[in-house]
């Protein structure tokens, strides 16, 4: 080997090593340096960067929207029968959230409506589940023939669409989606399982997340919302999220709002104050979004759940919730996903009772009628826990619709009068809720708010 060739090879090796080192630095440490056009290695860097991205596909995107894939406990296909007052579903009494939300009494007024469609954007659904099958939405313009009969761009989208695999296979290979679907709309009084919050409903199944098939969850989410809009869902249930906002996602939820669609979103299981650490899509601040956090039977927000007096609207049951699982089984799951499904079911009940309502009226009826709890004053915007009976009756019994305001714990005296400015479109009505030390709630409602004074 000639000295010339050895030198050449050594030089070549050094250059290759430099390229690898620098390209590694570009990707992992100095992402902005890739645009340095004076650097003779710039073109080499871009090649190396593409290679690395192929090796780690969509690394950041994978985490941009996620589900808290909670642990399933107590999974079974056999449920002990316990007598229930008005329904024969054997496990209804094990579903503590149903009782907590006052569903049994609410169902005497309405159990929902088959005309109302909830798009469940999740991990898929067990379409054959014994306690769900009849409650799935069916695309009226589609038959199973390998063709796109209704021309919506999706072939044989009978009950929804799989945006991970881009086909109509809605198989739930985790369980989360089927669990959420059952909380919203498991069939009541069929002698099987339990009952959803709104036993009469149509569930549109949109799969955006597959734990065994990594994909861009954010893009899938946006496409699923687009589908829900196009196919005229009334409510979108979204139990996922992430800490990064997306202009495209916000825009499509705004488009849903323009079509009158309510968007019920999980506050998230990040153990954090969402006022400081935002969680999306729950925290976009759009009028059609309800952000829901989770409580246990004692009305305590779960340690894992997000909270925030500016960002989280309402609390609902989310601890050890019994619901449906794939294979016609049942089991318990915990998290804001479960609480979110309770509120979607509540929206169905309110909307079925008031079919002429716009989305913001449904939202107002749900938020303003929850049961107040002092423990929630510094945790949510309303300090309330979902109460289905009150959502269906309370507003009808009052002369006015009341506005929303943030809770205040400031002492009130003649030197320090309490005033409130209702920063919402429902002015001029204001509701004040006053707690005594014994936690007895009193509610004062005014037909008209007083004009602001400059004292
Ligand atoms: Ca179609
Ligand atoms: Ca077809
Ligand atoms: Ca049932």
- Output the domain CATH number for residue 221: 3.40.50.200
CA–CA separation, 7 and 152 (whole Å): 64
Ligand 1 centroid from CA 146, angstroms: 10
What does the pLDDT average to over 174-197? Answer: 97
- 56 occurs within a structural domain: no
Residues 368, 413: one domain? no
* 86-95, 153-162, 218-227, 339-348: the lowest-pLDDT one: 86-95
Active site (annotated) includes residue 405? no
HSE-CB at 304 with a 13 A cutoff on CA atoms is 16
Percent over 70 (pLDDT), the chain:
71
CA–CA separation, 80 and 98 (whole Å): 17
Residues 286, 404: one domain? no
The answer, yes or no, to whether residue 167 has pLDDT greater than 50, is: yes
| Ligand closest to the CA atom of residue 156 | 2
The confidence score (pLDDT) of residue 50 equals 26
- 87 occurs within a structural domain: yes
Q: pLDDT tier at 75 (50, 70, 90 boundaries)?
A: confident
Active site (annotated) includes residue 176? yes
| Annotated active-site residue in 129, 159, 174, 176 | 176
- 454 occurs within a structural domain: yes
The confidence score (pLDDT) of residue 439 equals 40
Residues 438, 359: one domain? no
What does the pLDDT average to over 217-221? Answer: 97
CA–CA separation, 27 and 46 (whole Å): 10
| Annotated active-site residue in 305, 323, 337, 352 | 337
What does the pLDDT average to over 191-200? Answer: 97
Ligand 2 centroid from CA 140, angstroms: 11
The confidence score (pLDDT) of residue 122 equals 98
Residues 433, 300: one domain? no
Q: pLDDT tier at 64 (50, 70, 90 boundaries)?
A: confident
What does the pLDDT average to over 292-318? Answer: 97
The confidence score (pLDDT) of residue 453 equals 38
Ligand 3 centroid from CA 39, angstroms: 68
Q: How far is CA 278 from CA 21, 188, 242, 245, in A?
A: 36, 37, 9, 9
What does the pLDDT average to over 61-79? Answer: 73
Ligand 2 centroid from CA 207, angstroms: 19
Residues 315, 168: one domain? yes
Residues 418, 374: one domain? no
Residues 266, 129: one domain? yes
CA–CA separation, 202 and 187 (whole Å): 11
The confidence score (pLDDT) of residue 40 equals 32
From 396, 414, 440, give the residue that closes a domain.
396
Report CA Rg, the chain.
26
Q: To the nearest whole number, what is the mean pLDDT of the chain?
A: 80
- 3 occurs within a structural domain: no
Query: For ligand 1, a single-atom ion, which residues have Cβ within 5 Å?
Result: 142, 148, 150, 152, 154, 157
* 12-21, 332-341, 409-418: the lowest-pLDDT one: 12-21
Q: Are 388 and 344 in contact (CB under 8 A)?
A: no
- 327 occurs within a structural domain: yes
The confidence score (pLDDT) of residue 69 equals 61
Phi-psi map region of 335: left, alpha, beta (phi>0 left; psi -120 to 50 alpha)? left
The answer, yes or no, to whether residue 74 has pLDDT greater than 90, is: no
Q: pLDDT tier at 71 (50, 70, 90 boundaries)?
A: confident
The structural domain count of the chain equals 2
- Quickly tell me which residue has 């009808």 as its tokens: 396
* 46-55, 230-239, 331-340: the lowest-pLDDT one: 46-55
The answer, yes or no, to whether residue 224 has pLDDT greater than 90, is: yes
Q: pLDDT tier at 47 (50, 70, 90 boundaries)?
A: very low
What does the pLDDT average to over 120-146? Answer: 98
* 30-34, 42-46, 195-199: the lowest-pLDDT one: 30-34
The confidence score (pLDDT) of residue 82 equals 62
Ligand 3 centroid from CA 174, angstroms: 21
- 118 occurs within a structural domain: yes
What does the pLDDT average to over 214-218? Answer: 93
The answer, yes or no, to whether residue 25 has pLDDT greater than 80, is: no
Q: How far is CA 198 from CA 110, 246, 254, 296, in A?
A: 8, 31, 26, 21
Ligand 3 centroid from CA 177, angstroms: 17
Tell me the residue range of the domain where 177 lies: 77-396
Q: Are 284 and 250 in contact (CB under 8 A)?
A: yes
The confidence score (pLDDT) of residue 380 equals 97
Residues 260, 315: one domain? yes
| Ligand closest to the CA atom of residue 133 | 3
Ligand 3 centroid from CA 7, angstroms: 79
Residues 354, 256: one domain? yes
The answer, yes or no, to whether residue 404 has pLDDT greater than 50, is: no
Concatenate the DSSP letters of all residues of 248-279 into one string.
Answer: HHHHHHHHHHHTT-EEEEE--SSSSBTTTS--
From 396, 417, 439, give the residue that closes a domain.
396
* 18-27, 154-163, 178-187: the lowest-pLDDT one: 18-27
CA–CA separation, 56 and 339 (whole Å): 34
- Which one is predicted more confidently, 1 or 88? 88
The confidence score (pLDDT) of residue 403 equals 39
- 145 occurs within a structural domain: yes
HSE-CB at 170 with a 13 A cutoff on CA atoms is 28
Which residues, 6+ apart, have CB-to-CB distance to 358 below 8 Å? 260
Residue 401 backbone dihedrals phi, psi, to 5 degrees = -95, 130
The answer, yes or no, to whether residue 115 has pLDDT greater than 50, is: yes
Strands 240-241 and 160-162: unpaired
The answer, yes or no, to whether residue 447 has pLDDT greater than 50, is: no
Q: Are 145 and 168 in contact (CB under 8 A)?
A: no
Active site (annotated) includes residue 89? no
Q: How far is CA 248 from CA 94, 241, 287, 442, in A?
A: 41, 14, 17, 43
Q: Which pair of structure tokens corresponds to residue 353?
A: 């009772």
The confidence score (pLDDT) of residue 349 equals 98
- 306 occurs within a structural domain: yes
Residues 422, 384: one domain? no
CA–CA separation, 378 and 435 (whole Å): 14
CA–CA separation, 140 and 149 (whole Å): 10
Residues 379, 422: one domain? no
Residues 443, 377: one domain? no
CA–CA separation, 136 and 13 (whole Å): 62
65: how many CB neighbours lie within 10 A of its CB? 25
Helix (H, G, I), strand (E, B) or coil at 384: strand
């Amino acid at each position: 080997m000639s000295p010339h060739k050895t030198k050449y090879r050594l030089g070549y090796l050094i250059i290759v090593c430099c390229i690898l080192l620098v390209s590694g630095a570009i990707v992992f440490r100095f992402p902005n340096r890739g645009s340095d056009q004076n650097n003779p290695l710039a073109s080499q860097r871009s090649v190396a960067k593409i290679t690395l991205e192929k090796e780690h596909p969509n690394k950041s995107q994978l985490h941009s929207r996620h589900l808290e894939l909670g642990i399933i406990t107590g999974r079974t296909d056999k449920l002990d029968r316990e007598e229930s007052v008005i329904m024969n579903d054997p496990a209804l009494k094990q579903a503590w959230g149903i009782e907590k939300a006052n569903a049994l009494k609410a169902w005497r007024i309405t159990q929902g409506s088959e005309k109302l469609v909830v798009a469940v954007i999740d991990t898929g659904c067990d379409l054959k589940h014994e306690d769900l099958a009849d409650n799935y939405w069916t695309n009226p313009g589609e038959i199973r023939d390998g063709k796109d009969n209704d021309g919506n761009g999706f072939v044989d989208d009978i009950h929804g669409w799989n945006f991970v695999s881009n086909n109509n296979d809605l198989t739930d290979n985790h369980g989360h989606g089927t669990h959420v679907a059952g909380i919203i709309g498991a069939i009541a009084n069929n002698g099987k399982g339990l009952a959803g919050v709104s036993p009469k409903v149509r569930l549109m199944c949109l799969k955006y997340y597959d734990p065994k098939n990594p994909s861009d969850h954010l893009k899938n989410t946006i496409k699923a919302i687009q589908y829900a809009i196009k196919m005229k869902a009334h409510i979108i249930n979204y139990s996922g999220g992430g800490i990064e906002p997306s202009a495209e996602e916000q825009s499509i939820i705004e488009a849903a709002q323009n079509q009158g669609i309510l968007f019920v979103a999980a506050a998230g299981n990040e153990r954090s104050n969402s006022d400081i650490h935002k969680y999306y899509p729950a925290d976009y601040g759009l009028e059609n979004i309800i952000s829901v956090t989770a409580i246990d039977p004692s009305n305590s927000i779960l340690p894992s759940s997000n909270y925030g007096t500016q960002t989280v609207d309402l609390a609902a049951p989310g601890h050890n919730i019994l619901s449906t699982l794939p294979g016609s089984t049942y089991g318990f799951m915990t998290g804001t996903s479960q609480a979110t499904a309770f509120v979607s079911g509540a929206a169905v009940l309110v909307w079925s009772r008031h079919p002429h309502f716009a989305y913001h009226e449904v939202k107002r009826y749900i938020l303003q009628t929850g049961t107040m709890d002092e423990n929630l004053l510094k945790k949510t915007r309303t300090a309330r826990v979902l109460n289905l009976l009150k959502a269906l009756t309370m507003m009808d019994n009052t002369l006015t619709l009341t506005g929303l305001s943030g809770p205040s714990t400031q002492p009130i005296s003649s030197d320090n009068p309490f005033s409130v400015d209702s920063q919402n479109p429902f002015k001029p009505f204001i509701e004040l809720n006053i707690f005594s030390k014994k936690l007895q709630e009193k509610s004062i409602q005014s037909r008209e708010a007083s004009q602001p004074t400059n004292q």
